[in-house]
Amino acid sequence: MTDLTQEMISAEIADRHLREQGSTTVHPRRDFAPYRSTVLRHPTHELVRADPEEIERVSPAFGHTDVAVHESDLTIQHAGEPLGERIIVTGRVLDGDGLPVRGQLVEVWQANAGGRYAHKRDQHPAPLDPNFTGVGRIITGDDGSYRLTTIKPGPYPWRNHRNAWRPAHIHFSFFGTAFTQRLITQMYFPGDPLFGLDPIYQSITDPAARARLVARYDHEVSQSERALGYRWDVVLTGPRATWTEPEGSDHA
């Protein structure tokens, strides 16, 4: 087990945040060393600016032949009910102009209520739940909406440093109207005490951007005597501006 303490990781996070203060970069820094697995897995060259051609300005088509309706309910995939707190997560997928992303694929996966994934490499000694796999799919509606019924995942330990714990989260995968809008991310729950300690969440250095990964509790979504409701909207923007090839830009 590693000798790295939470204090050391937290100090590294604070130092990096200080250096990035005022930056409005939305996405995580790929070279965010407090998450140790990034060290050998981030490119060191600047990305090369590319002009999207037609293939990159459209997206794969998914439809109801690809996804069955019951795939949006993770609590009905087995003979019995899964253990844990039943929840509904709903929201809209929008593009940068606020228009709905219609008829597109949303994929989710998560740990069970005890913080254990139904994945062979997950060695966390929390019980597997025979009534919970933790995988779902949804096709967005005409208003870009998705709706998922599941159980609230538990936080779980990982080996980034000693006593490292991930805040509870659901993994989400989205397709936009263009392949350049492809997004895989994680949705978190409001008020999690682990936020400040987690190098994955904190790899987004802009606090306003980080906050956009946190769902809000919505009593209108909750169902009496059945489930608590959370709302989380997602925005998939395209390129910031039309890009044109600069003059004499060979070998940029």
Partner 1 sequence: MPEQTPGQTVGPFFGFALPYDGGPEVRAPWQPDAIRLHGIVLDGEGSPVPDAVIEVWGADGDGRPSTERGSLDRDPHGFTGFGRAATSEDGHYAFSTVKPGVGRPGSAPYVVLAVFARGLLHHLLTRAYFGDEPDANAIDPLLRRVDPDRRGTLVATVDGPRSYRLDLRLQGPGETVFLDYGTEQ
Question: What does the alpha-carbon distance between residue 96 and residue 114 come to, in Å, rounded to a whole number?
Answer: 37
C-alpha 224, offset from chain centre:
28
Residues 138-167 interacting with partner 1 (rule: CB under 8 A): none
**Side chain identity, residue 170:** I
Q: Which of 135, 141, 162, 228 binds partner 1 (CB under 8 A)?
A: 135
Is 146 designated active site? no
Q: Which of 16, 137, 161, 166 is catalytic?
A: 166
Is 117 designated active site? yes
Residues 15-54 interacting with partner 1 (rule: CB under 8 A): 25-30, 32, 35, 37-45, 47-54
Token representation of residue 112 = 């069970």
**Side chain identity, residue 194:** L
Q: Are strands 216-217 and 145-151 parallel, antiparallel or unpaired?
A: unpaired
Contacts (Cβ under 8 Å, ≥6 apart) of 41: none
CA distances from 24 to 35, 44, 49, 66 (A): 21, 21, 19, 37
Q: Which of 29, 92, 116, 156 is catalytic?
A: 156
* Shortest spacing between CB 218 and partner 1, in angstroms: 18
Is 166 designated active site? yes
Could you identify the residue written with the tokens 């989205």? 174
Cβ pair 109, 122 in contact under 8 A: no
The pattern of x and - marking residues 177 through 196 that bind partner 1 according to CB under 8 A reads --xxxxxxxx----------
- State the chain's maximal CA–CA distance in angstroms: 66
Residues 49-88 interacting with partner 1 (rule: CB under 8 A): 49-56, 58-63, 65-67
Cβ pair 88, 138 in contact under 8 A: no
* Shortest spacing between CB 30 and partner 1, in angstroms: 5
The pattern of x and - marking residues 94 through 133 that bind partner 1 according to CB under 8 A reads x-xxx------x-xxx-x-----xxxxxx----------x
Nearer to partner 1, 190 or 226 (CB): 190
Nearer to partner 1, 202 or 227 (CB): 202
* Shortest spacing between CB 198 and partner 1, in angstroms: 10
Nearer to partner 1, 88 or 213 (CB): 213
Residues with a catalytic annotation lie at 117, 156, 166, 169, 171
